[in-house]
Amino acid sequence: MDQVTSIRPECLRPAADGWLQPTGPEIREVIERAGFTGSRAGKYLGIATQETGGCRQVRKWIAEDARIPYSAWALLCHAAGLGIIWVSEPV
């Protein structure tokens, strides 16, 4: 049985509205929800430099060896169906 990692609400906010950096497992979960492999996520974001073998930068984000930029995170969340997180909800 596959285990689903929950994504903290603080990770789904606009950057200027209290956004918190996602953890490696949260990044992996969003990539999987988008239906991407690490390599496909890198291509989607325009950062893949290898034809095969995955995307080194995506692996660093998942391993928490590097911080994921908000823009990359927001695009992955959108691809995963989590909404347009860079836009504040009307009050």
- Report yes or no on 56 lying in a domain: yes
The helix-helix angle for 38-45 and 70-79 (nearest 10°) equals 110
The whole-angstrom separation of Cα 58 and Cα 51 is 14
- Report yes or no on 51 lying in a domain: yes
Q: Which domain holds residue 62?
A: 22-79
- Report yes or no on 10 lying in a domain: no
- Report yes or no on 88 lying in a domain: no
- Report yes or no on 1 lying in a domain: no
Give the tens place of pLDDT for each residue, 8-56. 999 999 999 999 999 999 999 999 999 999 999 999 999 976 665 568 9
* Phi, then psi, of 46 in degrees rounded to 5: 75, 25
Domain count within the chain: 1
- Report yes or no on 58 lying in a domain: yes
Which residues, 6 or more positions from 79, have their beta carbon under 8 angstroms from its beta carbon? Answer: 34, 36, 44
- Report yes or no on 68 lying in a domain: yes
pLDDT at 1: 45
- Report yes or no on 60 lying in a domain: yes
